[in-house]
Structure 1
Amino acid sequence: MSNSSFDDGEKDAGFDKSREVEVDEPHLTEEQEDLREAGEPPFTSHVDTTSGGDSPLARVASEKPSVNNIKSVPNGGLRAWLQVLGSFFLFCNTWGIVNTFGTYQTYYEVGILASSSASDISWIGSVQAFLLMLVGTVTGPIYDAGYVRHLLLGGSLLLVFGQMMLSLCTEYWQVFLAQAVCMGIGAGCLFVPAVAILSTYFSTKIATATGLAAAGSSLGGVVYPIVFYKLQPTIGFAWATRVLGFLMLATLAISNSVMRVRVLPAGRRKFVDLTAFTEAPYVLFVAGGCLAFMGLYAPFFYVQSYAIETGIANADLAFYFLSIINAASTFGRIIPGYVGDKIGPFNMIIPCSLLTGVLCFCLISSRSVTTVILDLVFYGLFSGTLVSLPPTIFVHLTKNRAVIGTRMGMGFAIFSIGLLVGTPICGAILNATGSYTYVWIFGGALTLAGTALIAASRVAKGGFSLMKKV
């Protein structure tokens, strides 16, 4: 490069070398500045050895795409949408399995685990959900190291193996090991690829893509309970459970076939990013999410037994209540995700989470089939955002895209604590009081408390303006 062209380049960059003063640049907002910095291609420095190493360092673009380079993100196309399809089936067999546990809870209370209390049985589902999120903090660095195929295949095998072993179980400890531990770890291996791969294929459409993928958990939550309930009386618990295992095997095979990593971080991810806990928006959001998840699954686990024991519905109808929640939740994942791209994920999740808490309280006065079904439809619709939007919010709260995985894993690990203790506490409340009213009060109060902290996070991030996209 000639000296004249080099000077011209410096002038174009905003610095006139002849006058040695900076030329004023147009004022950019913080969001525009972040996008401009993230959009710059990665550069490396090298010495031009052709001139004896005396020439100045020249900047050259890296041959590999950078995880921080937003301009290189496809944001669409066949391959990108195939990742959404693969992630859809991963959600179907991770969160979808968690959403199915209410059917097992009701069956176990009168079936093979009838000698165990409702609280003891609910520990199986809560530990499964807990491991789903917690294992993600361990598998995150494995993902960053490039072992994505190993996570997908290993997680798929653990899930299917655990489901097949469940069909052989007759005692509590056996069910706990197969359904809670084995399947929980398998689901945890799949959860990180399900959300991390999408963030490298989409930028402005990330909430929409994640919402469509998260709808897979609703499909699993609709199909699996119905299949189990219809088959169990005719072919027995063992074979009904195996049929679900074969469905899991088929759908997970699709995910393993189509999902491909586009780009990985340049270096291995830190296990913990302690600087995140110095940022008020992040701290408030993870605390709010923990409380919200502590109360969120009360209806998922207990609404079927509530309807049967109170005489609101017979067993044949009550077994469909969980599928009703999950069917409505399909729209609660897709629509808020699309709207969240337009108005901001925080502005979407706060009102939906607020209504979720209110609807949990409404179950107290729901005494007929019609009112319970209406309540569950809206509960599923609004509660879906608490599963589909947090990954997008973690991206929104993290300027450096290279540590998104770390912060997301840390956040979900904290969320998992709420999942772990929430439903067993509901069971303990039910055992102590004999009334579902206090279960709904507990679930609704915790969800509303979580919503308040999420709202505080939104204010810390974007201020009090209701019209601002946050």
Structure 2
Amino acid sequence: MGSPRAGDIRKVLDSGCPLPTASSSQPIPAVPPTDPSREGAPDGGTLAWLQVAASFFVLMNTWGIINTFGAYHHFYQLNILRSHSPSAISWIGSIQGYLLMTVGALTGPFFDAGYSRALLAVGSFLTVLGLMMTSQVKQYYQAFLAQGVCFGIGAGMLFVPSIAVVSTYFDKHRSLAVGITASGSGLGGVIYPALFHSLQPRIGFPWTTRIIGLMALVTLAFANLVTRQRVLPATRRKLFDVSALREPPFMLCAAGFLFGFMGLYIPFFYITPYAHFKTGASAALAFYFVPILNAGSVFGRILPNALADRIGPLNTLIPCTFACGVLAFAWTGVHGNVGLLAFAILYGFFSGTFVSLPPSAIVYLSSDLHKVGTRLGMSFGISGLGVLIGSPVGGALLNLGTGHFVRAQVFCAVTMMTSCAFLVLARLTNSGRTLLIKA
């Protein structure tokens, strides 16, 4: 099967289905084609840039807060939920990411029907409610329902409108606009863990979480006030494309994303306890390895994505995925703070590529560009399963009592290498064995 021509992909972009840009913080949701044509896009102006600011705050309070869960995991393990295993606690964070991706894919038809304001309002309410209820948790089921389920559903309802609305206001400067929007999650992944670590010892867990919730309330209220859906799609997107199941490149690529997301977030969840038990890091330094990972990943969504414009998404994604696997294996031999710092920066960098380039790869591998939105939604649903089960499996493999992390580290490495193998097969079945070809 041949790949779509560059001109065809450009038509998809011009119709309102944006690819992830250099600073994308997480996979960009499927956005259906828009009608009327792009000619009327203001491509700037106060209203257009207000949409960028609004969506920036939405991403900061969805993926940005989810990327903070490593900090919560460490606190729960030592305090409120110390009677529960690391695997059980990990389910709280993994269900957040799973629901964000799955609910985000399912909300597409509602956005198509013009309900973006309703999605934002309900999603903002559930997101803030989840955080406020989290501040009251005393037992595991309360944390799971509040921080996991309630927050995850709310974040999923916010995800699609935040990107889709911005894309309809820009044509010439769309990449810049979507890039600024998506960078909000990277900022949130740095700010919120640092805020949690700074405030929790002073004012306690409940008020620290309430302050994070109040920040989300204020910034999401701004997003609700200024967001305006500019155009409606000419056709409504289907949720499932049966023909995709008969295309080996798509299925192999989706399998690669499933295994990749299964192992990708294990360092984000467990690097703090690893530093605490294995490297002799102080409590403060151990805690800050989470924002260091997130900061490294921001750069990983800039340089590799720029390279992907030249050599293709799969040609960029494959070596970066391989690098994540190699680094995960190397992680087993890290026993000092300097080595762990180097690991955090490098792994954050290469993992940033894995979360920003998958939508580009799906567009490249789609033979029918009118089905790109549906196939992106299908890909998110499959990837979400990896997010759901990966970190809890990693938690079940480690033993904090003995400081035994190697099985979780090897699991991370093997899943990333398996992901790389599937992506290589996807490229070979789509583009053949020729190396010097954009793919």
- TM-score tier by shorter-chain length is 0.7 to 0.9
Which residue of 58, 77, 80 corresponds with 1:90? 58
Partner of 2:8: 34
Asked whether the 8 Å contact 1:211–1:337 carries over to 2, the reply is no
Which residue of 392, 401, 410 corresponds with 1:441? 410
State the 1:405 CA deviation.
2.8
Asked whether the 8 Å contact 1:358–1:444 carries over to 2, the reply is yes
What SS does the aligned partner of 1:384 have? helix
**Higher mean Cα deviation, 349-358 or 75-84?**
75-84
Which residue of 301, 326, 329 corresponds with 1:361? 329
Partner of 2:34: 67
**Which is bigger in relative contact order (C-alpha 8 A, separation at least 6)?**
2
Distance 2:261 2:203 in 1: 35
What SS does the aligned partner of 1:396 have? helix
Partner of 1:109: 77
2:114 is the alignment partner of 1:146:
yes
2:302 is the alignment partner of 1:334:
yes
Distance 1:435 1:149 in 2: 48
Asked whether the 8 Å contact 1:39–1:68 carries over to 2, the reply is no
1:290-341 deviations in Å (ceiling 9; x for gaps):
1000000110000100111224312111000001001111111233333333
What SS does the aligned partner of 1:373 have? helix
State the 1:37 CA deviation.
7.5
State the 1:468 CA deviation.
2.5
Asked whether the 8 Å contact 2:35–2:234 carries over to 1, the reply is no
One-letter amino acid of the structure 2 residue matched with residue 34 of structure 1 = D
Structure 1 residues 33 and 405, CA gap change in structure 2 (3 angstroms): closer
Partner of 2:425: 456
State the 1:202 CA deviation.
6.2
State the 1:35 CA deviation.
5.8
What SS does the aligned partner of 1:320 have? helix
2:276 is the alignment partner of 1:308:
yes
One-letter amino acid of the structure 2 residue matched with residue 363 of structure 1 = W
1:410-460 deviations in Å (ceiling 9; x for gaps):
111100111111011111111498511111111011012112212322333
Which residue of 91, 94, 108 corresponds with 1:123? 91
What SS does the aligned partner of 2:133 have? helix
Q: Percent identity?
A: 47
Asked whether the 8 Å contact 1:290–1:416 carries over to 2, the reply is yes
2:44 is the alignment partner of 1:77:
yes
Asked whether the 8 Å contact 1:87–1:255 carries over to 2, the reply is yes
Equivalent residues, number: 419
**Higher mean Cα deviation, 119-128 or 343-352?**
343-352
Distance 1:304 1:164 in 2: 25
Asked whether the 8 Å contact 2:52–2:178 carries over to 1, the reply is yes
What SS does the aligned partner of 1:264 have? coil
Distance 2:37 2:359 in 1: 17
**Higher mean Cα deviation, 405-414 or 237-246?**
405-414
Distance 2:138 2:10 in 1: 59
**Higher mean Cα deviation, 212-221 or 421-430?**
212-221
Structure 1 residues 333 and 87, CA gap change in structure 2 (3 angstroms): farther
Distance 1:275 1:186 in 2: 31
Structure 1 residues 322 and 36, CA gap change in structure 2 (3 angstroms): closer
1:44-94 deviations in Å (ceiling 9; x for gaps):
xxxxxxxxxxxxxxxxxxxxx963887648595346655444333222222
Matches within 5 A, 1:21-420: 31=5, 34=8, 67=34, 72=39, 76-78=43-45, 82-197=50-165, 200=168, 210-398=178-366, 402-420=370-388
Unpaired runs of 5+ residues, structure 1, are: 1-28, 42-64
**Higher mean Cα deviation, 349-358 or 333-342?**
333-342
1:163-217 deviations in Å (ceiling 9; x for gaps):
0111111111111110000001011111222344455556797766555433322
State the 1:33 CA deviation.
6.5
**Higher mean Cα deviation, 376-385 or 207-216?**
207-216
Distance 2:14 2:146 in 1: 48
**Higher mean Cα deviation, 102-111 or 138-147?**
138-147
Bigger Cα Rg: 1
1:132-167 deviations in Å (ceiling 9; x for gaps):
111123212111221111111211111111101111
**TM-score of the aligned structures, taking structure 1 as reference length:** 0.81
Distance 1:226 1:81 in 2: 28
Structure 1 residues 38 and 315, CA gap change in structure 2 (3 angstroms): closer
Asked whether the 8 Å contact 1:159–1:187 carries over to 2, the reply is yes
**TM-score of the aligned structures, taking structure 2 as reference length:** 0.87
Asked whether the 8 Å contact 2:133–2:146 carries over to 1, the reply is yes
Asked whether the 8 Å contact 1:66–1:263 carries over to 2, the reply is no
Distance 1:183 1:291 in 2: 25
